[in-house]
Structure 1
Amino acid sequence: MPWFVKIETGTVDKPTFDQYVPAHKAYVKELIAKGHKARTGYWAQLGGGMLLFEATSMDEAQAIVAADPLVKNGCVDYQLYEWKIVVE
């Protein structure tokens, strides 16, 4: 299955962002349970993060990202890329 990465930048203040973090974490755990091998995290410096996951296609990846609580609630701007692994 192809890998995808959502690179994101926060667009709201920290208190607003933080209220959606628990739902985002629960969503990522749900993706893991469904076999998407998802991982999420943030940059050491403030201002953004990344979601890495497997999906069958770009269409499925776009649907996965659209359902992320951080996206649904307007907390981040993002770019979505298919990641081509060259060494495993």
Structure 2
Amino acid sequence: MAWFVKIERGIVDKRRFDQFIHAHKAYVQKLIERGHRAKTGYWAEYGGGMLLFEAESMTAAKAIVEADPLIQNDCVEYELHEWCIVVE
């Protein structure tokens, strides 16, 4: 599997965002359980974060991202990139 990164920028106020953060965390936990080795977090500066995970292809990665509650509820805009690791 390849690594992918979703870089996101919040587009709603914190109150609305916080309504969906627990669903997002539960979704990421399910990704972990399904073998995607997902990690999620936010920038120390307000307003964005990142999801790092493994997927079979860019198509599969896009489907994973689109199912994220933060995306489904229009809380963030995002960029999706395949991450090519050069040193482990």
Q: Same fold by TM-score, threshold 0.5 exceeded?
A: yes
CA RMSD of the aligned region, Å?
0.2
Q: Runs (4+) of structure 1 moved beyond 2 Å? A: none
Matched, 1:63 2:63: yes
Query: For residues 84 and 24 of structure 2, what CA distance do their matches in structure 1 show?
Result: 25
Extract unaligned runs of 5+ from structure 2: none
The aligned residue for residue 13 of structure 1 is 13
Task: Note the 1:5-84 alignment, pairs <5 A.
Answer: 5-84=5-84
TM-score by length of 2: 1.00
CA shift digits 1:26-60 (9 cap, x unpaired):
00000000000000000001010000000000000
Extract unaligned runs of 5+ from structure 1: none
3-state SS of 1:35 partner: coil
Query: For residues 71 and 22 of structure 1, what CA distance do their matches in structure 2 show?
Result: 13
3-state SS of 2:7 partner: strand
Deviation at 1:76?
A: 0.1
How many residue pairs get aligned? The number is 88
Q: Percent of counterpart pairs with the same letter?
A: 68
